[in-house]
Each structure stands twice: as structure tokens, then as C-alpha cells.
Amino acid sequence: MHPTLRVLGARVHQPLIKFPGKRSWPSTPATPHAHPAAPPEFQKRFSDVAAASPSGAGKGETGSVISEFWEAPERFWRPRVRELEESEIDAVLSGGASLR
């Protein structure tokens, strides 16, 4: 069989993946909503919570922004580093051979 005839008779390869055009990000945030496949009781509960929350909540509020780490709740602070004992330093430097 001649390869040139096979190429000419075949269709042009069309990739299965389709890329959208240039990405454009929305300028305003989308309104929160429940997943369409969520059970009805979750959708109802979500709509109740969304209706009860103020409309400006979570949209660029600067009152909750902290500028120093000690203003944050203590659970977000870095854990205190304790001082290492000399025996622990020797164990690390020797690769664990000085444990005994």
C-alpha cells in the first residue's frame, strides 16, 4: 500500500480536547449557591444561611485584616522552639550513633 494515498484519503486529525479562548476573569464575585446535585435539605439550609448573612459580609472588609502576628488568634502563631540539649545535638550530628 502506498503511504501517500493513505494520508490523502484520511481526515485531518481533530484533537478531542477543546480549549476555550482567552481567559477572562469576572470583575465581580459570583453569588454563592449550593451545588446543583446536593440533596434538597442541604440546598434549603444553604439558601437559609445565605439569606441570613449580611450582603456586604466577606467582600473586601478590612476590619478583619491583621498587620502583626500577635494580633491573630494564638492558634495561628508559630509554635515556640525549645532549646536543644547538648545530647540531642550530638545525636543529630552523629546520625543517631551516639544515642547509647
Written as nine digits, the cell of 53 is: 448573612
Per domain, the residue ranges of the chain are 65-100
Cβ pair 63, 71 in contact under 8 A: no
Residue pLDDT, tens place only, 13-36: 888 988 878 878 778 888 888 888
Cβ pair 87, 79 in contact under 8 A: no
Please report, for residues 11, 32, 49, the alpha-carbon distance to residue 56 in angstroms, rounded to integers and kept in the order given: 55, 13, 14
Residue pLDDT, tens place only, 75-88: 777 666 778 888 88
Cβ pair 29, 59 in contact under 8 A: yes
Q: Specify the pTM.
A: 0.28
